[in-house]
Each structure stands twice: as C-alpha cells, then as structure tokens.
Structure 1
C-alpha cells in the first residue's frame, strides 16, 4: 500500500509540473531560469520555502537530535530564525539589484554593478566558481536523504538505482518548464511534508500517552549539555549561517522570480510560521531514541524508522513522498542555479537563445557527479551542510558593497572571497583549533578586512581621499527601497 500511495503522489507531482508549462514563453532563457520575474507572493512563498525546508529538515534535523541530543537543535533552529529578519531587510534590496542589472544569478549582479571597472570579469568568475564548487556537496545532501526516505518504503533496491531514479525525476522537473515546475510542485510537497511531520509526531505522542513521558524516558540517553566551546560554536554558527542563508544561489534565483520587492517582503513575513513543524520533529527524534527503532542503522534513519514503527502503510507512502519531494525540489533548484552560472557567467559567450539547451546538458552532468559523490564519498549531512556554507556566506561582503558601498573595488572583493574560501577549507582539513568559533565566521571577518583595506588602498592610488563618513550611509539611489 505504501508503494501505491507513493507512486500516485509522484505521478501527481509530474502532472503539476506539466501544468506549469501553460501561459509563458517556452523559448525564453529568462523565463526558464527566473520565470520572467512574474511570480506573485504565493508562488514565491512556496518556491523559496520549498528550498528552505529541504530533506535536511525532515531527515537531517531529527537524525542530528538522535545522534547528538537536544543541543543539536539550538544552532539549527537559531540560524533559520535569525535568517528571517535578515532576509526581510536584505532580500528586497537583492531583488532590486537583480531588476536593475537584469540579473539571473548573483554573479550577474556583480557584473552589472561593476560594469566598466577593471577587475569586473575577475569578480564574476570568482563568484561563479565558488558558487559551483560549494553547490556540489549540497546536492549530495539531497541524494543521501532521498535514498533514506525511499528505503523507508521497504524496497530492497540498491542505493545506486534509487539515486538514478531520483536524478531522472529531478531532471524531468527542470526540463519540463524550468523554475516554474518546482514552484508548482512545491505546493504539493509542502502539504505532504507538513502532513508527514505532524502525523508522525502526533503518533509518537499518542503511543506513549503524552509529550512528557517521551522526554523523561529519553533524558538519560540524550546529550543535552553545552560546554563553553560548544556554546561558542553554536552562537557563531547561528550568526554565520544566518548572514549567508539567502545568498545560496538557488535562494537568490528564487528571490529574482518575484514580480516586485514588496512581493519578496510579504513572503518573508509569513515564512517563520513553518517553524511550527519542529516540535513534532523533536518529539519524533526522542521517541526513536528511547524505543531504539533505528537499531543498528544510521542516525539519519531516525524519522523514517519511527514512522514505519508507528504508522500504517498508506501513511508511510505519504511520508516517503513528502520527504522525497523535499529533496527532489532542492535538487531541481540547484540544477537551475548551476545551469546559468555555467552558461551565462563561466562561459559568457553563449547566446541567450542557446542557454536553455546548454543548461540541460550541464544539469545532467551535475546530477551524475552528485550521485557519484553520494555513493562513493558518503558524508554526514551536518558536515556537508557546514562545508557548503563556508563558501556561500563569503558572498556577503560583496553583496553589501553592491547595495551600499558605491566605490568598493571588485578586485578586493574577489581576493577577499578567494582568501576566505581557501582559509576555511585549510582550517577545516587541518582541524585548526579556533576556540570553538565557526571556521566560516573567521573567514568572513578576514574577507571583510581584505575588502575594506583593498578598496581603501585603490582609492588612495587613484588620488581619491575616501569620505570619512561611512559609505554605508550613502547607498546608490537606484537601490533605495521603494516608499
């Protein structure tokens, strides 16, 4: 029964993707990548939320609590909560910059803003290569989670075959109508994911007669202690990832689909309501911990194992579909982000009318690489997640320069990114002790110092004395938020 329900819901998702083809310009690259900036509040909301709450939410979050205790949830919840007010103020400005420079990607914004300046192409390439490099492990997260979800159906199928099926589905969503298909399917995905999380959480509470018995029984097994070093890591990670969250390439692309900056602002106001799902995930994780439903399996199986232990077959089909679509839509979003990064920014000579076709080839190659990494270089979801953020948040100083610092130097921005990225990876590989501070935050501080010093030095060499008033108070007029 679980397989029948799962298959029916996947077919329904493909039908929604096909329905998204109607009423737009199928040959337009801009429509394929950012829906010609036509999405209203609802579609932007479901598209962006669909990428915020991915397979890491339904699989990785309860798996982290199962393996590391309740303290794991502090940084996870903290950075998402802090990201919302950051996005409320930052994202409308990013949308306006995208509109101003007719951008599809963040490197497009850099290219347009610094047009005519020496080093503009170097900055565009630096941002493009960094985005592609750090997006690769993000796909690995999705494939790993999807395989866990599909195994919950009881299929005795090799992980390689499941990964190939997932890649084919993700490619179909992209090929059918570009970013419109994930936006339509995200509506179904959110309904299924919320239903799966709430149903499983309520079943866990009902099975033990209330919430308190679950926490009391799991108290001895759960690690709920934070020492000073862990606290420093938690707080620095919350700050670092909140600053960079909206600069993930697929999130920027989702912002660019909106028809106005007010549309972006309205969607940010209601997104925090999705945080209501997390208490149900916590309860489910503690139930799995106390009742040993995972057995000898990996911690990432905690949610699915608890669901299989508590629920009938038809409900397992809903849960597997919701979890799988969560990963598939983010995979599709990553593919749609990498496509223009390669076809527009890495190889800028490709004509716009050919970018859609080239993107499909790029997408197929990216999916194959992600499958290989998932199967032959498996990594804990938490580790991969942090590694990806090392690179993405380093865009933050450059974005601030576009929005506020009119005379920033593009070479300084590019050098800041490269130095920060290299240092973060070196610190990570060498396990350099930084007294618990998140490696990425250290890199970000170094990045900001390089951008500030480099831009100041460039102005001095030009014979221009920098204004003693902080240039952050002099934003470019074209990027002023509307009244």
Structure 2
C-alpha cells in the first residue's frame, strides 16, 4: 500500500508539471529560468521555503540529532531564525539588482555591474564547482526515502530515477513546474512531519515521557566544551549571511514579480519552524525505541514506519522524495543558466533555453556518476561548498550597497577567500574553533577593501532604492 501511494504521488507530480506546461512560453529563456519574473507571493513562498526545508531537513536534522544530540537542532533553528531577518532586508535588494540588470543568474549580477568578463568567469566556475555536491545530498535523501518503503534499491538505480524525474520536471516547463510541485510537496511534508511527531508523542505517553526517556538515553542540550560553542555560534552567523549567496536561492528571488512580494513572503516563512518540535520528537523516539539503526539518516523514516500505518508511510516517503527532487530541479536550472549565460559567451538569446536543457542533462548525469563512483570527493566538496558560496558575499554586497568596490577588488577577494577555504580545510587549520568560512570571509573582505582602494577610479552608478 505504501509503495502504491508513493508511486501515485510521484506520477501526480509529473501530471502537475504537464499542466503547468500549457502556460509556458516556448523558447523563452526568461520564462524557463526565472518564470518570466511572474511569481506572486504564494508561489514564491512555497518555492523559497522548499529550498530551506529540503530533504536535508527531513532526513538530516533528525539523523544528526539521533547521532550527535540535540545541539545540532539548536544550531539549525538558530541559523533559520537569522536567515529570515537577513533575507527580509537583503533579498529585495538582490531582486532589485536583478531587475535593474535583467539578470537571470547570480553571475549575471557580477557581469553587468562590474563589466568584467574575467570576474564573471571566475564567479561562474566557482559556483559550478560547488554546485556538484549539492545535488548529491538530495540524491542520498531520495535513497533513504525509497529504502524506507522496504526495498533495498541500489544507489545507482535510485539516482537514475531521481535524475530522470528531475529532468522531466524542468525540461517540460522550467522553474514553473518545481514551483507548482512545491505546493504539493509542502502540504505532504508538513503533514508528514506533524503526523510522525504527534504519533511519537502519543505512543510514548506524552511529551514529558518522551523527553525524559530521551534524556535517559543521553540526549542533552549542553555543549561539551567552549570550542563547540564558538564553532556553533560562528557557523550560525556565517551561514545566515552566506545563504543568500547560494545561486539557486538568487535564481528563486529573480522569479518574483516584485521586491514587495519577497518581503511579504518572508514574513510568513518563520511559521514553518512549528515543525521542529515534531522533528525532534521523531529523532528522540528513534533514540529510545530504535537505538541500533544502520544509519542515523534512517531515524525519521524508521520512526514513521514504527508509529504510522503502512498507507501513511507512503505519504511520508513521497513528501521527503519530492523535497529532494524539487531542489535537484532548481539546482540543475541554476547550473544550466550559469553555463549557458556566463561560462559560454555570445550564445544567442533564442538558443539559450535549448542549450540550458542539454547542460542540465549532462550535469545530472555527471552528478549521478560522481555520487556513486567518487563519494569521498563529493564529501570533501560538500564540506567546503557552503564556505565557498559564502565568499561571494562581498561581491554581492558591493553590487547592492558598496558602489565603490572595483572588479579587481572583488576578484582578488574571491580568489583569496576560496584559496583560504581549501587551505584551511585540508590542513585542518583551527583558530579558536571559528568556522573556516567566516575566517576566509574576513580575509576576503579585507582584500576587497584594500585592492578596491588601490584601483578605484570612479564610483559605479548606484541602483535606485525604490522597491517595486
């Protein structure tokens, strides 16, 4: 029964994509990549939330609490609490810059604002390098969701299924299909999380009983030492700023009709944090009742199987799978857009959609192969990806705020920041347990300031501060 429900929901999502295709503008790259900048508050809300609450939240958060304790959950919730106010003020400015420069990708902002082909190329290459492991994380989440149905599906089969479905979504109607499917996914996902958590509380006899039992199993919110506190706090600060440097997040912002729509969507996004007590409940239940899982990532699905009837597990697995598929789709769109518009030069506008589709297919195939064949390489890139994306922040802030930064300054800062990330990661550098991304960002910012001061000739014309 669970498998039937799971497959039915996946097929229904494909039907939704086909329905959206009726209104798609054939051959229009803006419609394909950023939905023609036509998304209202509701669609933008669901699509943007889908990038925050992905399969990593559903699978990874309970798994991390199961393996490492609730401290990870505290970090994640604090990180989310910060990205909302940061996004409320920064995201509309990014949209404004995108509208001003007719940008469809993150590197488009750097290209148009700084008028530097070299800077555009470096930004595009860095983004593409760090985007490869991001899809792998979603593939792994889908494998967990499928295995939860009782089928031990080989990783290669699972990633082929995921890649094929994601490609169908975006090849049909670009970003509009993931946006529409995101509504279905969020209804399933929120219902699944609340249902699993509520059932876990009920089966344990109440909230207090579950938390006491988890405490007896070693669950604690106390940090082991000062280094853990420093690392956690510095990571929260860094990642809350770096979040809006993610290329697919920037692409999603560009889909909005207006800057005001982004602000209105941001006001309601904190409501999604209501799911966290139920995610923690699922993790605690697994700690108490299922202590010997083969992988911590099975904690949420294993709890669902234990506390819910079989038919309900199908809805849970489908919600988790769709969350991964949507993010894979949006990431792939970002890759296609960056390659077509920024890495390759002088592609005619009418040819960009077709070339983007080809690039997306190649990207998905490469990601699937690397996921299966070179998982250790993917792990290293994943561990540095967020720190790498965060190095785009000085340049991005220069586009929307600091008009006297130069292309040479931003380029130098980016090179210094990325080099510092890799050097510190592979040498296991430790400075008071600070997040290496934050250290690299400081070096990056200093470099931008110094080099810009030395190469400054005239201020770059600013953007209008009027929001649409």
The interval holding the TM-score normalised by the smaller chain is over 0.9
SS at match of 2:23: coil
- Superimposed CA distance per residue, residues 374-395 of structure 1 (whole angstroms, 9 cap, x where no aligned partner): 2234469998655221111111
When residues 221 and 381 of structure 1 are mapped into structure 2, their CA distance, relative to the original with a 3 A threshold, is farther
**2:431 corresponds to:** 434
C-alpha separation in 1, matches of 2:463 and 2:159: 46
Write the mapping of 1:27-46 to structure 2, written as runs, cut at 5 A.
27-46=27-46
User: How many residues were matched structurally?
Assistant: 466
SS at match of 1:169: helix
- Superimposed CA distance per residue, residues 309-352 of structure 1 (whole angstroms, 9 cap, x where no aligned partner): 11111111001100000000000000000001000000022112
Would the aligned equivalents of 1:93 and 1:403 in 2 still touch at CA under 8 Å? yes
SS at match of 1:20: helix
SS at match of 1:479: coil
Would the aligned equivalents of 1:221 and 1:289 in 2 still touch at CA under 8 Å? no
Question: Is 2:306 aligned against 1:309?
Answer: yes
C-alpha separation in 1, matches of 2:235 and 2:75: 7
C-alpha separation in 2, matches of 1:354 and 1:2: 43
**1:13 corresponds to:** 13
Would the aligned equivalents of 1:92 and 1:481 in 2 still touch at CA under 8 Å? no
C-alpha separation in 2, matches of 1:214 and 1:344: 53
* Coordinate RMSD, CA, aligned: 1.8
C-alpha separation in 1, matches of 2:99 and 2:404: 21
**2:259 corresponds to:** 261
Question: Is 2:165 aligned against 1:180?
Answer: no
C-alpha separation in 2, matches of 1:204 and 1:386: 32
TM-score, normalised by the number of residues in structure 2:
0.96
Question: Is 2:65 aligned against 1:65?
Answer: yes
C-alpha separation in 1, matches of 2:123 and 2:391: 9
Write the mapping of 1:192-341 to structure 2, written as runs, cut at 5 A.
192-219=188-215, 220-226=217-223, 227-292=225-290, 295-341=292-338
**2:467 corresponds to:** 482
Consecutive unaligned residues of structure 1, counting only runs of 5 or more, are 465-470
**2:85 corresponds to:** 85
- Superimposed CA distance per residue, residues 157-213 of structure 1 (whole angstroms, 9 cap, x where no aligned partner): 222111110110011011010000000000000001001101100110010111111
TM superposition shift of 1:23? 2.5
SS at match of 1:206: helix
**1:130 corresponds to:** 126
**1:468 corresponds to:** none
TM-score, normalised by the number of residues in structure 1:
0.93
Consecutive unaligned residues of structure 2, counting only runs of 5 or more, are none
SS at match of 2:252: helix
Would the aligned equivalents of 1:192 and 1:321 in 2 still touch at CA under 8 Å? yes
When residues 387 and 252 of structure 1 are mapped into structure 2, their CA distance, relative to the original with a 3 A threshold, is same
When residues 297 and 379 of structure 1 are mapped into structure 2, their CA distance, relative to the original with a 3 A threshold, is farther
Write the mapping of 1:159-170 to structure 2, written as runs, cut at 5 A.
159-170=155-166
